[in-house]
């Protein structure tokens, strides 16, 4: 009688083959998880917690010296507008900090000219924006969200100041009145730096409620006025995330994945060893 013929008397060749395949899959998954984690880390914007606001509202404030800047590549948003694929800004630097009450995001990019006036039909002001999902349940479409997954946009314009916007897809932008978003901008040398800030909590519908204990998706955009950029003609990033949550022990999903891998490895090893033992015994 072969191991395959034994009725419940042990683990046969098929079971061993399955166990071996599972073992290989677990090994492959185990090797892949660090790459997944590394990929996620590449999109992290660390959020430094500071005891007080200090001069975080100032783009060149000393409080930013200890905050890590992240290089964020940018490219055309791909909007179907004249010149939509022709954008000037290729990257920006993003830094973030928070106190117990307020979040600060500093966006900085290279720009030799400060365009702050729209005094003629051919003049456009420099501008920048931070995009956050209204709900943290899932990641919205990058192009201004969707009707069932909307986004808030914190918008700064060198000529018109600051707006807080709600969008549910391209072309659906509306202004949020009496916004709590504040900005402060400075052009030094050949570089713009703009600080966006807002209280963490919000008691208004359709306004992002920032949980200090949970990571949050964020995307960024820049308009170069001297390149006639406006509306959909802009340089935009992919989705990044603000690491607001606790850092101890890694991200929650990472801990769960590694726990599953550990259990699978132990189970597969036991099954394989027992199968080999019983097969030899027969």
**Domain spans in the chain, listed from the N-terminal domain onward:** 13-39+251-281, 45-238
From CA 154, how far away is CA 157, in angstroms rounded?
10
Per-residue pLDDT tens for 72-124?
999 998 776 777 788 999 999 999 999 999 999 999 999 999 999 766 556 79
**Whole-structure pTM value:** 0.75
**Residue 130, CA distances (Å) to 156, 194, 232 in order:** 9, 11, 15
* CA 132 remoteness from chain centre: 9
For the chain, counts of helices (H) and of strands (E): 2, 14
- Residue where the block lists tokens 């009496």: 178
From CA 254, how far away is CA 39, in angstroms rounded?
12
Q: Tell me, which fold does domain 45-238 have in CATH? A: Immunoglobulin-like (2.60.40)
Per-residue pLDDT tens for 20-76?
555 555 555 555 545 544 556 889 999 999 999 999 999 999 999 999 999 999 999
From CA 264, how far away is CA 276, in angstroms rounded?
18
Pairing of strands 216-223, 235-236: antiparallel
Count of CB atoms within 10 A of residue 225's CB?
23
Per-residue pLDDT tens for 140-167?
999 999 999 999 999 999 999 999 999 9
Q: What is the DSSP letter of 68?
A: P
């Amino acid at each position: 009688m072969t191991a395959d013929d034994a009725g419940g008397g042990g683990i046969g060749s098929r079971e061993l083959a399955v166990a071996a395949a599972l073992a290989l899959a677990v090994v492959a998954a185990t090797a892949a998880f660090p790459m997944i984690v590394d990929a996620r880390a590449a999109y992290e914007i660390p959020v430094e917690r500071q005891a007080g606001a200090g001069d975080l509202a100032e783009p060149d404030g000393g409080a930013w010296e200890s905050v890590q800047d992240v290089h964020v590549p940018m490219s055309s948003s791909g909007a179907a507008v004249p010149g939509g694929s022709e954008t000037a800004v290729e990257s920006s630097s993003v830094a973030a900090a928070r106190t117990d009450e307020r979040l600060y995001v500093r966006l900085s990019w290279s720009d030799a000219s400060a365009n702050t006036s729209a005094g003629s039909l051919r003049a456009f002001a420099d501008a920048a924006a931070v995009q956050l999902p209204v709900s943290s349940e899932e990641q919205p479409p990058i192009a201004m969200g969707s009707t069932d997954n909307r986004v808030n946009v914190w918008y700064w314009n060198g000529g018109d100041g600051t707006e807080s916007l709600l969008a549910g897809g391209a072309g659906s932008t509306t202004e949020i009145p009496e916004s709590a978003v504040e900005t402060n901008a400075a052009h030094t040398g050949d570089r713009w730096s703009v600080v966006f800030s807002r209280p963490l909590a919000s008691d208004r519908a359709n306004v992002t409620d920032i949980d200090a204990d949970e990571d949050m998706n964020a995307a960024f955009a820049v308009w170069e006025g001297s390149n006639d950029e406006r509306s959909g003609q802009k340089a935009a990033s992919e989705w990044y995330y603000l690491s607001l949550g606790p850092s101890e022990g890694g991200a929650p999903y990472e801990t769960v994945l590694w726990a599953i891998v550990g259990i699978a490895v132990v189970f597969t090893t036991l099954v394989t060893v027992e199968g080999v033992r019983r097969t030899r015994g027969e």
